[in-house]
Amino acid sequence: GAVVSQHPSWVICKSGTSVKIECRSLDFQATTMFWYRQFPKQSLMLMATSNEGSKATYEQGVEKDKFLINHASLTLSTLTVTSAHPEDSSFYICSAPDVGGAGEQYFGPGTRLTVT
Amino acid sequence: SQQGEEDPQALSIQEGENATMNCSYKTSINNLQWYRQNSGRGLVHLILIRSNEREKHSGRLRVTLDTSKKSSSLLITASRAADTASYFCATDETTDSWGKLQFGAGTQVVVTP
């Protein structure tokens, strides 16, 4: 089946720095990808929709200037957490829809971000 | 925002027993999906049921959907230790933003040998 990868799988950074997370569709093209955030013991919360060739659309309450999304190609979306703070520490997961399917999503393995 | 709730929050059973978890949602949906997540890992798609379907099977999984009650259930039969994971329902609500999912709170299942 289709595979979505994320890089890095985990990252530790200091407060105030920026961190970039990549999401790649390995064997299919994805004009749309989604970014989720998951805090420990909680569910996934949709952050934004990444659109190839146009601006990302953000969910209510998600700061677009803090979480920069760039859909650089049909196989790559990046999420940059700018000026990271400890409360940004979370598990970030991307997904891409199975265009040929009925609505299933292929999820990346996630990126664990820890801000110290 | 999260679409709905799942219950129970946690479930502990022995191998061979069945596990049932429920999901409720709030708005009209195109489909409802169930996913499994092992601790600290990504999500694995289990089954998708469309809004015009009432029941679906896949191996040891059985999913029901009652759109009048806005609820769904996932049944895992003859559970195995490897079924230990968190299970999430997710709804695809809109037609203008296809693929955008709203997740339930999840049910943590522990299967003991």
Going by C-beta distance under 8 Å and a sequence separation of 6 or more, which residues neighbour residue A61? none
Whether A32 and B99 lie within 8 Å, measured CB to CB: yes
- Chain B interface residues (partner A, CB cutoff 8 A): 1-2, 30-31, 33, 35, 40-45, 48, 50, 88, 90, 92, 97-106
**What mean pLDDT is predicted for residues A47-66?**
93
pLDDT value of residue A104: 79
Whether A102 and B44 lie within 8 Å, measured CB to CB: no
Q: What is the separation of C-alpha A27 from the centre of its chain, rounded to a whole number of angstroms?
A: 18
| Model pLDDT for residues A78-107, shown as the tens digit of each residue | 999 999 999 999 999 999 987 776 677 899
pLDDT value of residue B1: 46
- Rounded to whole angstroms, how far apart are CA atoms B20 and B8? 9
Torsion of CA B35, B102, A94, B8, to 10 degrees: -40
**What are the structure tokens assigned to A75, written together?**
């196989």
**What are the structure tokens assigned to B41, written together?**
């890992």
- Rounded to whole angstroms, how far apart are CA atoms A76 and A52? 9
pLDDT value of residue A105: 86
Question: Does residue A114 have a pLDDT over 90?
Answer: yes
| Model pLDDT for residues A1-49, shown as the tens digit of each residue | 678 999 999 999 999 999 999 999 998 889 999 999 999 889 999 999 9
| Model pLDDT for residues B21-70, shown as the tens digit of each residue | 999 999 889 899 999 999 878 899 999 999 999 999 999 999 999 999 99
- Rounded to whole angstroms, how far apart are CA atoms A75 and A29? 5
pLDDT band per the 50, 70, 90 thresholds, residue B94: low
Question: Does residue B2 have a pLDDT over 60?
Answer: no
pLDDT band per the 50, 70, 90 thresholds, residue B98: low
Question: Does residue B13 have a pLDDT over 70?
Answer: yes
**What mean pLDDT is predicted for residues B70-91?**
96
**What are the structure tokens assigned to B85, written together?**
């994971």
**What are the structure tokens assigned to A110, written together?**
């996630």
